[in-house]
């Protein structure tokens, strides 16, 4: 029996309920669950989303849906409306053997060294671009809540990417991120904190 694309990308009932409750942006800044082929939005948002910047880990559909989620309520249709197909040249896809993403997004805590720092830099760049666009559009939309969310994630990844070498200062920064719950909101909680203490 064919599987639905939602199950392969983890858009489960819990995430669906959060979208319905107006928490879509919070989910989207951690990982995209919208696909361009199924995305529709009102033309009034055109100026908000264009131009789409060149970002390593944020393709056009993720950029569009994040910005719209920052200023409006998202919704979705549960009934399947398309048959998902793949071709050899597409940018992203699903492995038909085990329904795992062909280009999986790695957790920032599952990779090490230079690659880990590159991933931090990618997240920081994405958040800065998103923040910049929201500030630009602040006259047309109420972006204050969205900006606060983006700013919190940006602070977290900037902190994690600039951990001091001195142990005591490092412990202070890790404790501060734990107390603000940013490790739990944007990383893997205590596992990420432990990694930052010893890596």
Q: What is the pLDDT of residues 129-150, one digit of tens each?
A: 999 999 999 889 999 999 999 9
Q: Which of 77, 105, 133 is the last residue of a domain?
A: 105
Task: Give residue 45's pLDDT band: very low, low, confident or very high (50, 70, 90).
Answer: very high
Say which residue the tokens 């990308």 belong to: 9
For residue 39, pLDDT beyond 90: no
Give the model's pLDDT for residue 12.
Answer: 87
Which of 65, 81, 57 lies closest to 24, judged by CA? Answer: 65
Q: Where are the beta strands (DSSP E) in the chain?
A: none
101 and 124 housed in the same domain: no
Separation CA 113–CA 107 (nearest Å): 13
149 and 51 housed in the same domain: no
Burial class of residue 83, CB neighbours in 10 A (0-12, 13-18, 19+): exposed
pLDDT in tens, 80-105: 887 777 777 766 666 555 444 444 34
Task: Give residue 199's pLDDT band: very low, low, confident or very high (50, 70, 90).
Answer: confident
Does residue 193 contact residue 174 with C-beta atoms inside 8 Å?
yes
84 and 26 housed in the same domain: yes
155 and 119 housed in the same domain: yes
Which of 40, 48, 34 lies closest to 5, judged by CA? Answer: 34
β-strand partners of 101: 94
β-strand partners of 85: none
For residue 160, pLDDT beyond 60: yes
Separation CA 61–CA 155 (nearest Å): 25
Domain that holds residue 117: 113-198
How many domains, in total, are found in the chain?
A: 2
For residue 78, pLDDT beyond 80: yes
What six digits make up the tokens of 119? Answer: 């991933």
Q: Is the pTM of this model over 0.85?
A: no
């Amino acid at each position: 029996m064919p599987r639905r694309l939602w199950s392969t990308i983890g858009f489960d009932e819990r995430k669906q309920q959060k979208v319905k409750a107006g928490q879509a942006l919070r989910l989207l800044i951690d990982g995209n669950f919208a696909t361009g082929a199924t995305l529709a939005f009102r033309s009034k948002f055109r100026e908000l989303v264009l131009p789409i910047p060149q970002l390593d880990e944020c393709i056009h559909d993720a950029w569009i849906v994040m910005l719209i989620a920052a200023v409006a309520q998202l919704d979705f249709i549960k009934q399947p409306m398309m048959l998902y197909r793949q071709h050899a040249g597409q940018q992203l896809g699903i492995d038909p053997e085990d329904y795992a993403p062909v280009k999986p997004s790695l957790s920032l805590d599952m990779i090490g060294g230079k690659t880990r720092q590159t991933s931090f830099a990618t997240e920081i760049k994405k958040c800065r671009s998103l923040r910049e666009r929201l500030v630009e559009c602040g006259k047309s939309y109420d972006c204050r809540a969205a900006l606060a969310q983006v700013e919190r994630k940006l602070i977290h990844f900037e902190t994690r990417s600039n951990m001091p070498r001195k142990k005591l200062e490092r412990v202070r920064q890790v404790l501060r991120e734990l107390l603000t719950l940013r490790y739990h909101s944007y990383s893997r909680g205590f596992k990420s904190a432990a990694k930052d203490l010893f890596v």
